[in-house]
Chain A
Amino acid sequence: MTQQEDPTPFESWDRPRQAWLLSGDCRGVRQRTLLLEMTTRALFPTVLVFSLYLLLVGHYGPGGGFAAGLVAGLAFVLRYIAGGSEDLGAVVRIRPPVLVGTGLAVALLVAVVPLAFGLPVLSSAKWALDVPLLGTIAVQTSLFLDVGVYLLIIGVVIDLLRSLGSGIERDMREEGEQA
């Protein structure tokens, strides 16, 4: 009986392949907190969805781009604390400065687009759309300014994780080697 070789080793069967789940890479047994890792698996996507909700609801209740960006950023903070910088690097492919710049660019574009229609800078308009089943959906164009703020804040938080989080971590490691 020939044993068919399984491409996936036994211990990796339940290894998560989805990016929004923690990779589960062990990063030093002493620093590992299993409870936090499991909680983060569940919380990370939820918090991101919640941040989107805050972004959209800003016009009608507490929320807005700033708060939403901070919430999303805190989701990444949680992820970094639970999984370390390698895990964060695996999930965030985009460079934080690029994210920050994109946010600023989006906000500035929203600011100048009205000029093309002969309106003052940063003026906003209401777009209403009739969708079957859902009824009328109205979007204020200033939402896009909030999107820019949202992206920029996320970028700033991830950049903080990169510089003050993993940057300092590596400093400590290198000093430890020298000592």
Chain B
Amino acid sequence: MLALVVAHLAIAVLLPLVSARSTRAAFLVAALPPAAAFGWALTQIGHALDGGVASTTAWAPALGLELSFRLDALALAMIVLVSGVGAVIIVYCAGYFERRAEEAPRSAALLLAFAGAMLGLVLADDLFTLYVFWELTSVTSFLLVGQSGEGRASRRAAVQALLVTVFGGLAMLLGFVLLGEAAGTYRISEILADPPAGGLVPLALVLILLGAFTKSAQLPFHPWLPAAMVAPTPVSAYLHAASMVKAGVYLVARLSPGFADLAVWWVPCVVFGAATMLLGGWRALHETDLKRLLAFGTVSQLGFLMALMGAGGRTAALAGVTMLLAHGLFKAPLFLVVGTVDRSAGTRDVRKLSGLRKVLPGTAITAALAAASMAGIPPLLGFVGKEAAFAAFLDDGRWPVALALLAGSVLTVAYTARFLWGAFASKPGVEPSTVRAPGLLLTVPSWVCALAGLALGIGYPLVEAIGEGYVGPGGYHLALWHGLGLPLLFSAVALAGGLLLHRFRAVLRPLGAGPFDAQRGYEGVIAGIGRAAVVVTGRLQLGSLPFYLGAILVTVIVLPGTAALLAGGWPTDQPLFHVIMQVPLGLAVIVAALAVVKARRRFTAVLLVGVIGYGVGGLFIVDGAPDLALAQFLVETLSLVVFVFVLRRLPANFTEESPRRRVIVPKAVVAALGGITVAGIGVLLSAARSGPAAASAQFFELAPSGAGADNVISAIIVDFRALDTVGEIGVLFIAAAGVASLVLATRHDRRSKTGQGTPEHEEEVRG
């Protein structure tokens, strides 16, 4: 299974080679891996429904990380959407994108990469594997929504989608860790076989739900989904209707068998799901852009799915799987139809389109077929699913939920009617649209999806087989005809109510789209974060070196200083000196340090600091650390030279006039306290060691044999602690680049107002 996923990603990397010749061929090539994955899943259908097929590859065995995959009934249902519908949509792209379209090569590669990531997500049987693919889908979605990044709207939408889903994703990661630690394993199938309880598990579940809700655009995180409609229509069809937004629903469905009996799991799912279903349906009634109308429809349906998957109970879950398939198979063709209408008529605005039913009859019939499934009209799959959904909540007595779903279904029928009317009806007072006949590539894919919805509606036993693979046998069965009963009544009410609502839509218009706007809430949060950052930065980054130094010193005095005072013990056997040579060296350092404070000229101060450095180096020699002393002398010399270089540009004296006492005294106090604290901590720490120096002894023992070095310091630097060394030279690398940039790059910026450097300047910065 890993090979399949990797094949997607590898071909995506190589795809630009094909797009360079023909973008159309690139899309057709890109459709092959998902088609192959779909075919493979179909051949495995027997094993998948009979317990599942698993495969595990070690990833980082030392950390216990593994890439673990498992194909079972739920994964199979998702693969139908991810790979089956995905392949169809990618083929559609070949017709949708213009031959020379700039965004086509990028879209082809990204769509294929997304298909791979999504396949990995639905196959994952390990929480971390799932997380990695989850975030990969967020990233590819960001790139696909943002397109070239030239349009302001695309950029904003892409950033919004990324921020919201990654915020949820991070919360989810935290939840995964808590859950995995509570269960003692990160393998999903093992967690579900023996679900942990108590402790931090409820918190973990809430965090995981947060991830699922953001990804599946649940209230109040939903605005990113309609905003993402700036992406090309096939991208919206694939990512934001058929597959990616279902990842949250899928995750809930995946974990529900273990946790759906906990109130902390099913209550949020049902409450937020039902609320999202109502809000999405209501907002869809007020949209004039066909794509945004469908997007809010998707939000609504995702709420429906979330309520079904999270509610618990066999019938609800069975209805969930059925609706999952149904939604993918009707929403994808509806989006494709919008794309075709957009390409043929040049607009997708409800107020401008008119009379398309007559000029695009084939497209209109496809749309009607798919829309009928969305509205829940027999014998389509949507009807079968909705019947099961009503039955699920009516049978176990959760009446309020059933009524909320009924209200949502009324809205669904209403916006379905609005969609068909808006796209295809002849409107009085609107000029009939002129169209370009769409090619086969623009029509056949939507036919395939819509007919699949019809075929599965009639052939519902197949769906039931997949569903039973997930929920287990027995109890409720899917059927087109259950006899007269409440579910059928609910379906009829939904249909009639929805059509009436559409008929009297003029009455609704004054009510508006709703009292609160989650999009404004999102913008408020983002602006608030920005303002908070400005305030914090403005308070901390004053641009005053004494302030920075003071802040650092005060922190040192307050935190480690207090800790040392409380916990440290003064060494009892502290002699004044070990070797007599320490006395003159120490005195020299002390005298030089005091003299620095009194120095008026910068050059004098630099020389005195040099004296201090050399004095400390001398102390190293006395204490028998020649390596340290050598490095100290060399660094001291170099810094002296560098100081002198810089001093050429600075005034000779520190200040022209002597500073006021009011400024000097606090500075002197902080500096003196800081110095005393550091010195005191140094002495305290020398007494802190209670056991023998085991690490040093081992270093001495291992240096000649293990590192082949007589010099234990060298053995530590290049062998035992070599990673530290690599890290440190990395820091030096950055520091060198920083100094060069500060000195060379700012020279020109100071002079030119634009801040742009000249080519010669660029050359100079590079060296």
Interface residues of A (CB under 8 A from B): 58-67, 70-71, 73-74, 77, 81, 95-98, 100-101, 103-104, 107-108, 111, 121-122, 124, 126, 138, 140, 142-143, 145-146, 148-149, 152-153, 155-157, 159-160, 162-165, 167-169, 171-172
CB<8 Å pairs between A and B, sample of 9: A59-B709, A97-B736, A111-B726, A148-B729, A159-B767, A162-B744, A163-B742, A165-B645, A171-B649
In the assembled complex, which residues on chain A have CB atoms less than 8 Å from the CB atom of B719? 122, 124, 142
Docked Cα-Cα span, A99 to B729, in Å, equals 13
**Chain B, Cβ-Cβ closest to A101:** B733
- Using A67-B631, A98-B767 as known contacts, say yes or no to A163 and B710 having CB atoms under 8 A apart: no
Docked Cα-Cα span, A111 to B723, in Å, equals 8
- Using A95-B766, A103-B729, A152-B732 as known contacts, say yes or no to A64 and B641 having CB atoms under 8 A apart: no
In the assembled complex, which residues on chain B have CB atoms less than 8 Å from the CB atom of A121? 723
In the assembled complex, which residues on chain A have CB atoms less than 8 Å from the CB atom of B635? 70
**Chain B, Cβ-Cβ closest to A65:** B718
Which residues of chain B (704-724) have a CB below 8 Å from chain A? 707-711, 713-715, 717-719, 722-723
| A140 interface neighbour in B707, B733, B743, Cβ under 8 Å | B707
Are the C-beta atoms of B638 and A149 separated by less than 8 Å? Answer: no
Are the C-beta atoms of A122 and B722 separated by less than 8 Å? Answer: yes
Docked Cα-Cα span, A101 to B722, in Å, equals 18
| B740 interface neighbour in A140, A153, A159, Cβ under 8 Å | A159
Docked Cα-Cα span, A97 to B732, in Å, equals 12
Docked Cα-Cα span, A167 to B746, in Å, equals 11
| A122 interface neighbour in B710, B723, B747, Cβ under 8 Å | B723
In the assembled complex, which residues on chain B have CB atoms less than 8 Å from the CB atom of A103? 729, 733
Are the C-beta atoms of A164 and B630 separated by less than 8 Å? Answer: no
**Chain A, Cβ-Cβ closest to B625:** A62
Docked Cα-Cα span, A111 to B725, in Å, equals 11
CB distance from B707 to the nearest CB of A (A): 7
Are the C-beta atoms of A107 and B713 separated by less than 8 Å? Answer: no
Are the C-beta atoms of B708 and A167 separated by less than 8 Å? Answer: no
Docked Cα-Cα span, A140 to B645, in Å, equals 39
Are the C-beta atoms of B641 and A77 separated by less than 8 Å? Answer: yes
| A142 interface neighbour in B631, B722, B737, B766, Cβ under 8 Å | B722
Mask for B215-253, Cβ within 8 A of A = 1, else 0?
000000000000000000000000000000000000000
**Chain A, Cβ-Cβ closest to B751:** A174
Are the C-beta atoms of A64 and B717 separated by less than 8 Å? Answer: yes
Are the C-beta atoms of B736 and A156 separated by less than 8 Å? Answer: yes
Mask for B403-436, Cβ within 8 A of A = 1, else 0?
0000000000000000000000000000000000
In the assembled complex, which residues on chain B have CB atoms less than 8 Å from the CB atom of A59? 708-711, 714-715
Docked Cα-Cα span, A146 to B722, in Å, equals 10
Are the C-beta atoms of B740 and A168 separated by less than 8 Å? Answer: no
Are the C-beta atoms of B729 and A149 separated by less than 8 Å? Answer: yes
Are the C-beta atoms of B637 and A164 separated by less than 8 Å? Answer: no
B685: CB under 8 A from chain A?
no
**Chain A, Cβ-Cβ closest to B631:** A67
In the assembled complex, which residues on chain B have CB atoms less than 8 Å from the CB atom of A152? 729, 732-733
Are the C-beta atoms of B645 and A168 separated by less than 8 Å? Answer: yes
